[in-house]
Amino acid sequence: MTRGYSLEKDLNLLINNPKYSDIEILCEDEKKLYDLQDFIMKTFKNTLEKNCDENYSPELLSKLAEKIPLTEDNILLNLLVEAVAIIPLNTIEFGRLSITGLKYLLSCTHEKEETPFATPEYEVFRYGAILAAKQVLNEAYITLMEQLLILEQIRQENPVQIENKIFVSHQKVAKELEPLVKLIDFRRIKDLNDNRGMSNYVYDDVSAKVVLGNKGVFEWDVIIEKSCTSAAVGVCASENFNYETWAGYQTTGWVLGSIGYCCNFGNYIENYCPLFGDGTKITVHLDMNKELALLQSMEQNIQNDIEILCNEKKLYGCRMILATKSEMFGKLLYYRMKEDSEPKISFPTINSSVMGTILEYFYTGSIKDETLTKYNIIEPFDAADCFQLLDLQKSVFINNLEKNYTNNYLQNYCNF
């Protein structure tokens, strides 16, 4: 059945039906028509909300924007603006939303903080520029599609290098874009994530109130019944975790995102897994017995892909784990090194025992009490400062210092 047929059939039954009308319209031939505007608007709004992923709101906005002046307050146009505003522009194929429709959308949402809007301002500029180029020449359209990357491409660890190209018709494109320029807030583009209006994203969380033990193997499935703009699945520690803050920003939280990233402590690894879709099943496998094996692998070349050279010893590590635990390691391993030809990294000023302490924290999220004493804590503390591990300094080293200070104080008190 053609999409929309059922709605069209139902609306036809309502036309000129006194049962569903609240006003009479007297015509020249003395026939009566009944105003169904409110009912139709409510039905239309409900239809848009129920079919937010698949509807013709961009096309309808384009058609009506060409016929109704921008100065006129039209209920139907307002509904269409609200419907299109919550759709990220980079998901609307070029050709569905006209440049007139885009102008109407931007005009109605410009400098209105209370209006939900799903598209970052950079993407607004990108969409407008490419749409303007499409009106002028196909060559200009193709060139700008290559030049202006979407945000996901810009955020990649190894962004595509783009060669600047000047096309002959650039002045015509600029003229076509001119009506949109005053409706784009270029100040927001400084921060690529900045949106006009109110963010449309509403985050709900589902948390399991189950504490897993230190030993054993745990496995469970998370099923994405219906994909959305952004979803994340993760695990966290029961201690040193703030439930009011996103898990991916914390040292004790690990998150897998719907666009394929893995995140811990604010460090992202892009393209870590396939994108989530309808019905995607994520299997979380947590083997608490592997803590010892992970620690052993630091001294043996087992399940590792990077050599860590200290002043007198060679250690091994997993590139992904190191990068997610330390932003500094992430930059060293993924931005400055050729992954295949240089599978090693050197720290000549850090001895192997200190590096072992840092790796122990990376792999397990903690350091055993017997590892640190008041006699050997200074060098690891300085190394943690070097790797910008502030959480390690505060929660582990400072606590250890306080414990040793308290023990010494009690011992001196008893001796006295």
Complete DSSP assignment for 128-186: HHHHHHHHH-HHHHHHHHHHS--HHHHTSSSPPP------TTHHHHHHHHHHHHTTS-G
177 and 103 both lie in a single domain: yes
> Which residues of the chain register pLDDT less than 50?
1, 4, 32, 34, 209, 292-302, 336-341, 406, 409-416
| DSSP character at residue 91 | G
Residue 346 covered by a domain: yes
Q: 273 is in which domain, residue-wise?
A: 217-286
The count of C-alpha atoms lying within 13 angstroms of the C-alpha of 62, restricted to the half-sphere facing its C-beta, is 12
Are the C-beta atoms of residues 104 and 77 closer than 8 Å to each other?
A: yes
| DSSP character at residue 223 | E
pLDDT at residue 145, rounded to an integer: 86
Phi and psi (nearest 5°) for 152?
-60, -35
Count of structural domains within the chain:
3
Give 3-state DSSP helix, strand, coil % of the chain, rounded to 5.
45, 15, 40
Residue 16 covered by a domain: no
Angle between helix 75-85 and helix 37-50 axes, rounded to 10 deg? 10
Residue 139 covered by a domain: yes
Three-class SS state of 315: strand
Are the C-beta atoms of residues 272 and 254 closer than 8 Å to each other?
A: no
The two structure tokens encoding residue 255: 């998150």
Q: Which of 231, 256, 286 is the last residue of a domain?
A: 286
pLDDT at residue 340, rounded to an integer: 42
Residue 359 covered by a domain: yes
| DSSP character at residue 196 | S
Closest to 236 measured CA to CA, from 208, 216, 274, 257:
208
62 and 190 both lie in a single domain: yes
pTM listed for this prediction: 0.43
Are the C-beta atoms of residues 117 and 195 closer than 8 Å to each other?
A: yes
Instruction: Give me the CATH number covering residue 308.
Output: 3.30.710.10
pLDDT at residue 409, rounded to an integer: 41
Cβ-based burial of 378 (10 A; exposed 0-12, middle 13-18, buried ≥19):
exposed
pLDDT at residue 15, rounded to an integer: 64
The two structure tokens encoding residue 86: 């919550």
351 and 322 both lie in a single domain: yes
Q: What is the dihedral of CA 221, 226, 232, 238, to 10 degrees?
A: -50
**Residues with Cβ < 8 Å from 313, sequence gap 6 or more?**
351, 352
pLDDT at residue 392, rounded to an integer: 73
Residue whose tokens read 């589902």: 206
277 and 305 both lie in a single domain: no
